């Protein structure tokens, strides 16, 4: 019931002294007290009745009201029998803390108010609980095992008028309502932002649901997680339920229902994990054969078994790619292998790679701290071009980088390496080493989420990450610090000019066009760079030094 309903019940003898804007608060119970600190007996939502025996001096009012406001009570009703008129210091304290304050006529007993509130609240709660029980029954009889998460989300839409989606930690939409009038779909960008908000909030340790407002719309985010383990072991693989509503003022019964929904969806998550067991075992067997140097014929035989499972209906043997991922935590207490395995499986569920439907046919093994994915690729067309279907490191992280960086926070890292595609068992060992080297290149870069591909292993970029940090800092400082200092003082943009000049291979005309400068202005800036550093940008050695310094900075 609402506070407004109590005020409208004239037989209760209540008179409002402050808090007109807060009368829509929900009353969940009633408590009579004259304790100076009743906080241990408050759980939120109560109408507190008091005879003011706790007040000995005006300063007591501020302390008492502050305790009630912190406990989340719905309102305060003070009796007039003890002091007559309600003290002004109590009225002012309630106004400061936005706590509705009522006076109770001397002729009205607290017992009659308590009886009325209990009767009203009990009747409403009985109706709500009956509805909740009925909904749970329907959810259990037609839940995930009978049609997937969409069935549960449709019930939320039809029964509670709630739009909801099940999302992965990378922001991939796993399920949404299938009702015709369920409104516009959730965009991929918004889903990724919601996943990022959820991961960031979960890392703070706050209990869900987490609330966030994006694009003027408020969402409540409910975790769908495995209980009893360190949060970091499950955070990057657990799903979440995003509801288009503000759950901040929901009654406990509705929150309980949504938590029940997450438990039902968790059952579906476990079922899908179980379905990956065969693929994981196949990947583990192939990986062990490759690592132990088994004959190519034996590896090829195992690949022939794996291909129909991963790409059913494929007429000929596919090409393959290897992806290696590692999740590392700074304290080293949490094993990263299982986390990387679940996360890599999620990242490689690629809608459209193998056809119009999302593909969940990637086989991922775990070896030590690494997760290793065996990715089947369709055989190249007659032109021999398979690049369109291959995985590229930057594309792999393009969508997931922002949400996963927030989930890793300041104590975790994800690094990924991608091999070139190979067309036979003989090439798998080389592809595995290639992916591992690429991951090490990614690990040497700054950032929480980094990836590198096979194409970078034939470049100078392969060497730069392995230069000791102190050498890198000294080298870049000697060449670039004079330019940075000059830019800070004069806003001369010497560093951007240097980058553009080198990128244009020292062409004055192309560089001036790119920077929208006159050639003479460009010549002046380059001359200033040479003067400040003592280098000559017409010399190949000096150009190379500047190039390396910029890449290492």
Can you give the residue ranges of every domain in the chain? 3-121, 144-275, 277-464, 469-552
Among 57-61, 347-351, 460-464, top mean pLDDT goes to 57-61
Asked if residue 462 has pLDDT above 90, the reply is no
- Tell me which H or E stretch contains 546: helix 540-552
Q: What is the per-residue DSSP string for 235-282?
A: TTT-EEEEESS-GGG--HHHHHHHHHHHHHHHHHHHHHHHHTHHHHHH
Query: Which residue is associated with the tokens 């909801």?
Result: 164
Question: Whole-model pTM above 0.85?
Answer: no
Report d(CA 401, CA 417) in Å as an integer: 15
Report d(CA 32, CA 50) in Å as an integer: 6
* Helical pair 469-490 and 519-533, crossing angle rounded to 10 deg: 130
Report d(CA 359, CA 375) in Å as an integer: 11
3-state helix, strand, coil in the chain (%, to 5): 50, 15, 30
Asked if residue 547 has pLDDT above 70, the reply is yes
Question: Which of the four CATH numbers 3.40.1620, 3.30.70, 2.40.50, 3.40.50 does domain 277-464 have?
Answer: 3.30.70
Region 461-482: mean pLDDT is: 74
- CA-closest candidate to residue 239, choices 176, 151, 332, 155: 176
pLDDT recorded at residue 354: 37
pLDDT recorded at residue 259: 81
pLDDT tier at 297 (50, 70, 90 boundaries)? Answer: confident
CATH no., domain 144-275: 3.30.450.30
Query: Which residue is associated with the tokens 């930057």?
Result: 394
pLDDT recorded at residue 393: 78
Lowest mean pLDDT among 80-89, 205-214, 220-229, 318-327: 220-229
pLDDT recorded at residue 485: 93
Report d(CA 244, CA 299) in Å as an integer: 50
pLDDT recorded at residue 400: 75
pLDDT digits (tens, 9 = 90+) for 22-44: 998 888 888 888 899 998 888 88
pLDDT digits (tens, 9 = 90+) for 245-259: 998 888 887 787 788
- Could you tell me which residue, 389 or 78, shows the higher pLDDT? 78
Asked if residue 208 has pLDDT above 60, the reply is yes
- Tell me which H or E stretch contains 203: helix 188-203
pLDDT recorded at residue 97: 94
Asked if residue 356 has pLDDT above 50, the reply is no
Asked if residue 142 has pLDDT above 60, the reply is no
β-bridge partners, 422? 320
Which residues 6+ apart lie within 8 Å of 442 measured at CB?
A: 393, 415, 416, 417, 450, 451, 452
User: Phi-psi region for residue 199, left (φ > 0), alpha (ψ -120 to 50) or beta?
Assistant: alpha
pLDDT digits (tens, 9 = 90+) for 381-440: 554 444 445 778 777 777 677 788 887 877 788 899 998 888 878 888 888 888 888 888
**Which percentage of the chain shows pLDDT scores above 90?**
21
Report d(CA 422, CA 532) in Å as an integer: 50
Lowest mean pLDDT among 7-11, 230-234, 448-452: 230-234
Report d(CA 154, CA 393) in Å as an integer: 37
pLDDT recorded at residue 522: 93
pLDDT digits (tens, 9 = 90+) for 167-179: 988 888 888 877 6
Environment class of 83 (CB within 10 Å of its CB; exposed 0-12, middle 13-18, buried 19+)? middle
pLDDT recorded at residue 531: 93
Report d(CA 55, CA 11) in Å as an integer: 27
pLDDT recorded at residue 517: 92
- Map residue 207 onto helix, strand or coil: coil
Which residues 6+ apart lie within 8 Å of 490 measured at CB?
A: none
- CA-closest candidate to residue 33, choices 81, 95, 85, 78: 78
* Helical pair 252-275 and 149-160, crossing angle rounded to 10 deg: 160
Q: Which two tokens stand for residue 377?
A: 């690729």
What's the topology of domain 3-121?
Answer: 3.40.1390
Question: Which of the four CATH numbers 3.90.1150.10, 1.10.10.350, 1.10.150.20, 1.10.10.2840 does domain 469-552 have?
Answer: 1.10.10.2840
Asked if residue 129 has pLDDT above 50, the reply is no
Q: Is the dihedral of CA 168, 170, 172, 173 positive or negative?
A: positive
pLDDT tier at 133 (50, 70, 90 boundaries)? Answer: very low
Asked if residue 152 has pLDDT above 90, the reply is no
């Amino acid at each position: 019931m609402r506070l407004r309903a109590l005020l409208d019940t004239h037989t209760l003898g209540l008179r409002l002294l402050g808090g007109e804007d807060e009368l829509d608060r929900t009353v969940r119970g009633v408590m009579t007290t004259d304790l100076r600190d009743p906080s241990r007996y408050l759980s939120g939502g109560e109408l507190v009745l008091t005879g003011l025996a706790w007040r000995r001096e005006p300063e007591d009012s501020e302390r008492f009201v502050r305790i009630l406001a912190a406990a989340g009570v719905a309102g305060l009703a003070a009796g007039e029998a003890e002091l007559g008129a309600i003290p002004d210091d109590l009225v002012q304290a309630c106004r400061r803390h936005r706590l509705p304050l009522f006076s109770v006529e001397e002729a009205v007993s607290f017992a009659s108010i308590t009886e009325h509130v209990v009767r009203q609240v009990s009747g409403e709660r009985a109706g709500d609980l009956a509805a909740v029980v009925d909904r749970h029954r329907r959810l259990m009889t037609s839940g995930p095992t009978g049609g997937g998460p969409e069935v549960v989300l449709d019930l939320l839409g039809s029964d509670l008028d709630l739009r909801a989606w099940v999302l992965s930690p990378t922001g991939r939409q796993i399920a949404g309502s299938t009702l015709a009038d369920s409104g516009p779909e959730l965009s991929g960008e918004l889903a990724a932002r919601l996943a990022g908000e959820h991961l960031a909030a979960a890392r703070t340790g706050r209990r869900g649901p987490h609330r966030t407002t994006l694009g003027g719309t408020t969402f409540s985010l409910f975790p769908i997680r495995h209980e009893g383990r360190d949060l970091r072991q499950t955070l990057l693989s657990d799903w979440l339920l995003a509801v288009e509503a503000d759950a901040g003022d929901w009654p406990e019964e509705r929150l309980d229902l949504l938590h029940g929904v997450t438990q039902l969806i968790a059952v579906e998550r476990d079922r899908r994990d179980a379905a990956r067991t065969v693929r994981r075992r196949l990947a583990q067997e192939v990986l062990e054969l490759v690592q132990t140097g088994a004959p190519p014929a034996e590896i090829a035989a195992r690949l022939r078994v794996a291909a129909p499972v991963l790409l059913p209906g494929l007429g000929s043997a596919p090409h393959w790619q290897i992806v290696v991922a590692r999740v590392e935590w700074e304290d080293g207490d949490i094993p990263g292998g299982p986390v990387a395995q679940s996360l890599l499986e999620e990242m490689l569920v690629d809608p459209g790679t193998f056809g119009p439907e999302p593909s969940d046919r990637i086989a991922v093994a775990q070896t030590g701290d690494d997760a290793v994915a065996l990715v089947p690729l369709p055989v190249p067309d007659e032109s021999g071009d398979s690049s369109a279907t291959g995985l590229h490191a930057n594309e792999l992280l393009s969508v997931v980088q922002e949400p996963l960086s927030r989930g890793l926070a300041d104590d975790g890292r994800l690094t990924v390496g991608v091999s070139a595609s190979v067309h036979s068992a003989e090439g798998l060992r080389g592809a595995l080493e290639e992916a591992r080297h690429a991951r090490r290149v990614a690990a040497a870069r700054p950032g929480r989420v980094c990836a590198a591909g096979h194409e970078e292993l034939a470049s100078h970029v392969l060497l730069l990450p392995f230069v000791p940090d102190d050498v890198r800092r000294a080298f870049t400082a000697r060449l670039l610090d004079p330019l940075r200092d000059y830019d800070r003082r004069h806003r001369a943009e010497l560093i951007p000019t240097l980058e553009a000049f080198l990128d244009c291979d020292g062409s004055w005309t192309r560089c001036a066009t790119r920077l929208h400068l006159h050639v003479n202005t460009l010549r002046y800036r380059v001359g200033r760079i040479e003067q400040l550093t003592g280098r000559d940008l017409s010399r190949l050695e000096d150009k190379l030094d500047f190039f390396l310094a910029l890449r290492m900075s």
